[in-house]
């Protein structure tokens, strides 16, 4: 009893301990409801509050851009963010904790599908309402979701498999070009491919097929790398994948029927928020299941000690190949979605800068972790957009941040953490002695 | 045939840039088992430092009565820039690699990559996006040898790089420092226990590689006098491929692979099409690596790799 009290006191005294103690009994459901109310509040009162605190327009990304552009407006932007997001979320999360806990406790006894769908619907609702206010938010959100897919699939190779792959932009390019070519060929009157071959109403049905085809092409490309590079252990994947990236980029520059260096533009606008959201959820779900499966555990075993894994009947080469192709497949799909989101691609889109960005996301978030991939993709992407007013200096701030993360947490912020959906959704209670 | 020899001369010049840059990658990779992704940008910084030194020396010579001949300015520029850039390399090691000695190797590669981006952006921020003209210190003299046109610049570039490569080879083979470096490449766990200071050797490796990169940068600027901040990212990564192709930590291999890359690029550009250059060059490299996965002179890793 005494020990428990001392422990809880120590927890409250530690860094952010008060926050942790405050949030200890608030389940995910309550947070989601709180955020939902916050975004609804912004929808309803955003304009009024903007006028009231004297901001030129509604802060798009939590006021960061306004603060950086005009330092005099920092107090008003802070007030706005606190009023719209801070206070409602913190208060409502606490207020709703009790009923939300009750509901969560009920739901968790039902088949797992039902609570998952409830949470996802809430999450989607939040995103939809939040991004409704400006096109810029919508674009940023979609690109962030796509970045989650890319980071997760790269983490599969660099984190779970423990190799160093540089070819992800190449896989992305393969997927993007395949999906774009199919969609533009069939559904768009285009200078490059001529008249549309199919009526436009079939487009939304063909789109997933085109994406999957892009994924398959990317996986086939990965096979080219996988066959030579998994013969031996070592750093040769890094170099072969880098050569592959150069080859893919150069190939697309030379394929004149795919637009050459000018690229393809005018992809139909099928990658809207619900589509991207669904694909991202699917990707997280499947990859999470993959890494928790026997094959995923075998992959970790191969990373930690290939010889021992081999002795324990793991077929190391097969395991590595499957994981690599799987990661490439998802990178291809993400590439297709990316092409249909920005609606313009050329070979220069998939260059070394993109590689650096992807690697930054993986290593910032954390190796060997689905949580980490999500954290890394969201934070680097959002940070990149928020620091946009800094222009050039953005590319000094973000690398510096990443160097600091690497020095103090060499495997990334949330490395080696299991992503357990059931645990995430379960009701939370305070430790007994505090009630 | 004349044309062939003409391209051969060009390829020698082009390959010597790659070879000099690749040496820096190869040494860091061979001795510390780390990818130094900042090295391409160190090459760029070296070229810019060379530009600064050359401009300052030329101005000094013009101001004072000191009649420095132009070739001496060039030699001094190369030496001073090599000296200064080696400190940039040591700084990179100190900031990006030493704190991560115990971390997974890939994390150190990421810090290197990030330092490279910082160097590049820093250069853009300080000097702006416009390109810079390197002062032309030596007059181009054209020799016509049986129809093959050779300039004194090309001869100088090839000779200087060959001398530097040989000097490095001798340094590693003959001196005590070189012996320590080779020992570290053999086993970086046990050798520090035998009294060889790992940190000093790491600094020395980075310093040597950066000095060579600076020399490459200045020679590059002599041949192509227009500098922009992106030369690091365009040529550095290609030299990285050459370094690994040469084999782990092999000076010979890195030079050979650098020249090979230069030859392929020039000849593809000359006889096929310059837009096919990357495609064919890297396809050939991919093929070579399929049959010789450890590069030209590399051996399989002896020590167990971290991560």
Alpha carbon A215 to its chain centroid, in Å, reads 17
Nearest to B20 by CA among B98, B95, B78: B78
**Contact B248/B289 with Cβ under 8 angstroms?**
no
Q: What is the pLDDT of residues A341-379, one digit of tens each?
A: 998 898 988 988 899 999 999 999 988 889 999 999 999
- What pLDDT is stored for residue B301 in this prediction? 56
Tell me how far apart the alpha carbons of residues B160 and B214 are, in angstroms, rounded to a whole number.
13
**Measured between beta carbons, which residues in chain B are less than 8 angstroms from residue A240?**
286, 289
* Residues of chain B positioned with their CB less than 8 A from the CB of A360: 110, 113-114
Q: What is the CA angle A172-A173-A178, rounded to 5?
A: 105
Minimal CA–CA distance to B75: which of B92, B100, B50?
Answer: B50
CB–CB of B121 and A158 under 8 A?
A: no
A435 confidence band (pLDDT: 50, 70, 90): very low
| CB neighbourhood size of B170 (10 A) | 11
Start-to-end C-alpha separation, chain A: 13
Chain center to CA of A152: 7
Closest CA to A374 of A214, A219, A159: A159
Q: Which residues is B143 bridged to in the sheet?
A: B150
CA–CA dist A268, A201 (Å, integer): 12
Cα–Cα distances in angstroms (integers) from residue A272 to residues A268, A333, A340, in the given order: 10, 15, 9
Q: What is the DSSP letter of B24?
A: H
Coil, strand or helix at B244: helix
**pLDDT greater at residue A329 or residue A112:** A329
3-state helix, strand, coil in chain A (%, to 5): 80, 0, 20
Which among A158, A234, A254 has CB closest to B106? A158
Whether the predicted pLDDT of A231 surpasses 80: no
Contact A305, A251 (CB under 8 A): no
Q: B282, A356: Cβ pair inside 8 Å?
A: no
DSSP for A126-160 reads: HHHHHHHT-HHHHHHHHHHHHHHHHHHHHHIIIII
Q: What's the pLDDT score for residue A14?
A: 62
Residues in chain B with CB shorter than 8 Å from the CB of A250 are 275-279, 282
- Residue A433: pLDDT band by 50, 70, 90 thresholds? low
Find the range with the poorest average confidence among A42-46, A125-129, A333-337.
A42-46
Residue among A158, A396, A403 minimizing CB distance to B121: A396
Question: For B222-251, what is each residue's pLDDT tens digit?
Answer: 888 888 888 888 888 889 888 888 887 788
Nearest CA in chain B to A224: B286
Whether the CB-CB separation of B271 and B48 falls below 8 Å is answered with: no
Count the neighbouring beta carbons within 10 Å of the beta carbon of residue B281: 26
Smallest Cβ distance to A410: which of B29, B103, B294? Answer: B103
pLDDT at A7 over 60: no
The answer, yes or no, to whether residue A322 has pLDDT greater than 60, is yes
Q: Does A407 touch chain B (CB under 8 A)?
A: yes
Chain A interface test: which of B35, B112, B113, B239 (most A C-beta within 10 Å):
B113
Beta strands B132-133; B142-145: pairing state = unpaired
- The mean per-residue pLDDT over the stretch A42-68 comes to 79
Give which of B231, B279, B300 to mutate to test A binding, by max A Cβ within 10 Å: B279
B/e letters for B24-50, b = 16+ CB within 10 Å, e = fewer, are bbbbbbbbbbbbbbbbbbbbbbbbbbb
Residues in chain B with pLDDT values less than 50: 302-307
The residue in chain B having the minimum alpha-carbon distance to the alpha carbon of residue A241 is B286
* Residue A238, min C-alpha distance to chain B (Å): 9
Q: B106 to chain A: which residues are within 8 Å by CB?
A: 158, 164, 363, 367
Listed by number, the residues of chain A in 341-400 with a beta carbon closer than 8 Å to a beta carbon of chain B are: 352-353, 356, 359-360, 363, 367, 392-393, 395-396, 399-400
**Could you give the CA distance from residue A380 to residue B5 in angstroms, rounded to a whole number?**
51
Name the minimum distance, in Å, from the CA of B15 to any CA of chain A.
18
State both tokens at A305. 């000690």
Question: Where do we find the tokens 């490095």?
Answer: B168
Q: How far is A108 from chain B (nearest CA, A)?
A: 38
Residues in chain B, overall count: 307
Q: Is the pLDDT of residue A2 over 60?
A: no
Contact: B244, A249; criterion CB under 8 Å: no
Say whether residue A54 is in contact with chain B using an 8 A CB cutoff. Answer: no
Residues 185-244 of A with CB under 8 A from B: 228-229, 231-236, 238-240, 242-244
Three-point CA angle B112, B115, B121, nearest 5°: 145
The interface pTM score, or ipTM, of the predicted complex is 0.87
Question: A363–B110: do the CB atoms touch at under 8 Å?
Answer: yes
- Report the gap between the CA of A237 and the closest CA in chain B (Å): 10
pLDDT at residue A15, as a whole number: 65
Strands (E), A178-250: none
The Cα A244–Cα A221 span in angstroms is: 9
Closest chain A C-alpha to B186 CA, distance in angstroms: 16
Q: Identify which of A240, A356, A399 has the shortest CB distance to residue B289.
A: A240
Cβ contacts of A224-233, under 8 Å, gap ≥ 24: A225/A167, A225/A324, A226/A320, A226/A321, A226/A324, A226/A325, A228/B286, A228/B289, A228/B290, A228/B293, A229/B289, A229/B293, A230/A317, A230/A320, A230/A321, A230/A324, A231/A317, A231/B293, A232/B293, A232/B294, A232/B300, A233/A306, A233/B301, A233/B305
Cβ pair A239:B245 closer than 8 A: yes
On the question of pLDDT at A192 being above 60, the answer is yes
């Amino acid at each position: 009893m005494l020990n428990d009290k001392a422990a809880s006191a120590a927890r409250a005294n530690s860094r952010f301990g008060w926050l942790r103690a405050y949030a200890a009994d608030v389940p995910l459901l309550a947070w989601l409801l709180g955020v939902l109310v916050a975004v609804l509040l912004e929808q309803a009162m955003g304009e009024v509050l903007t006028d009231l605190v004297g901001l030129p327009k509604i802060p798009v990304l939590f006021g960061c851009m306004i603060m950086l552009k005009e330092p005099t407006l920092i107090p008003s932007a802070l007030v706005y963010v606190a009023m719209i997001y801070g206070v409602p979320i913190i208060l409502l999360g606490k207020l709703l904790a009790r009923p939300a806990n009750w509901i969560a406790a009920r739901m968790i006894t039902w088949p797992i599908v039902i609570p998952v769908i409830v949470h996802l619907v809430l999450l989607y609702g939040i995103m939809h309402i939040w991004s409704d206010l400006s096109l810029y938010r919508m674009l940023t959100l979609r690109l962030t979701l796509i970045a989650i897919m890319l980071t997760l699939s790269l983490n599969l190779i660099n984190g779970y498999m423990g190799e160093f792959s540089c070819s992800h932009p190449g896989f992305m390019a393969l997927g993007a070009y395949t999906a774009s070519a199919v969609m533009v060929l069939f559904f768009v009157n285009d200078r490059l491919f001529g008249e549309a071959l199919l009526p436009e109403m079939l487009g939304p049905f063909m789109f997933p097929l085109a994406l999957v085809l892009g994924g398959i092409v990317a996986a086939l490309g990965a096979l080219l790398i996988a066959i030579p590079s998994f013969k031996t252990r070592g750093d040769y994947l890094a170099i072969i994948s880098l050569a592959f990236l150069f080859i893919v980029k150069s190939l697309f520059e030379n394929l004149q029927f795919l637009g050459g260096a000018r690229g393809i533009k005018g992809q139909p606008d099928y990658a809207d928020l619900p589509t991207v959201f669904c694909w991202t959820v699917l990707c997280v779900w499947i990859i999470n299941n993959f890494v928790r499966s026997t094959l995923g555990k075998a992959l970790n075993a191969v990373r930690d000690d290939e010889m021992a894994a081999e002795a324990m009947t793991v077929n190391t080469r097969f395991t590595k190949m499957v994981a690599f192709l799987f990661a490439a497949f998802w990178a291809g799909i993400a590439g297709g979605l990316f092409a249909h989101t920005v609606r313009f691609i050329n070979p220069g889109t998939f260059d070394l800068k993109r590689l650096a960005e992807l690697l930054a996301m993986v290593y910032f978030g954390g190796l060997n972790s689905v949580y980490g991939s999500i954290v890394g993709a969201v934070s680097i992407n959002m940070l990149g957009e928020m620091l946009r007013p800094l222009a050039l200096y953005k590319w000094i701030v973000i690398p510096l941040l990443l160097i600091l993360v690497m020095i103090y947490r060499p495997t990334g912020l949330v490395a080696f953490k299991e992503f357990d959906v059931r645990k995430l959704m379960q009701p939370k209670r305070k430790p007994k002695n505090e009630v | 045939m004349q044309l062939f020899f003409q391209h051969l001369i060009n390829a020698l010049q082009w390959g010597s840039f790659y070879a000099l840059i690749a040496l820096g990658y190869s040494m860091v990779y061979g001795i510390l088992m780390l990818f130094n992704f900042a090295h391409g940008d160190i090459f760029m910084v070296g070229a810019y430092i060379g530009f600064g030194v050359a401009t300052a020396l030329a101005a000094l010579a013009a101001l004072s009565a000191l009649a420095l001949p132009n070739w001496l300015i060039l030699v001094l520029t190369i030496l001073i820039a090599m000296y200064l850039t080696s400190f940039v390399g040591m700084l990179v090691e100190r900031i990006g690699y030493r704190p991560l000695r115990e971390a997974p190797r890939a994390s150190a590669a990421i810090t290197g990559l990030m330092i490279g981006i910082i160097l590049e952006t820093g250069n853009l921020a300080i000097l702006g996006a416009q390109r810079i003209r390197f002062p032309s210190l030596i007059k181009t003299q054209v020799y016509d040898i049986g129809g093959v046109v050779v300039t004194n610049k090309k001869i100088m570039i090839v000779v200087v790089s060959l001398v530097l490569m040989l000097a490095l080879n001798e340094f590693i083979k003959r001196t005590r420092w070189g012996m320590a470096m080779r020992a570290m490449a053999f086993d970086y766990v046990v050798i520090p226990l035998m009294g060889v200071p790992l940190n000093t050797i790491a600094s020395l490796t980075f310093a040597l590689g950066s000095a060579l990169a600076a020399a490459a940068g200045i020679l590059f600027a002599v041949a192509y006098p227009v500098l922009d901040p992106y030369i690091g990212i365009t040529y550095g990564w290609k030299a990285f491929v050459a370094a690994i192709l040469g084999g782990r930590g092999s000076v010979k291999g890195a030079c050979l692979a650098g020249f090979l890359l230069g030859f392929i690029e020039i000849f593809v550009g000359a006889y096929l099409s310059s837009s096919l250059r990357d495609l064919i060059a890297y396809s050939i490299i991919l093929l070579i690596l399929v049959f010789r996965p450890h590069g030209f002179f590399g051996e399989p890793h002896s020590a167990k790799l971290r991560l």
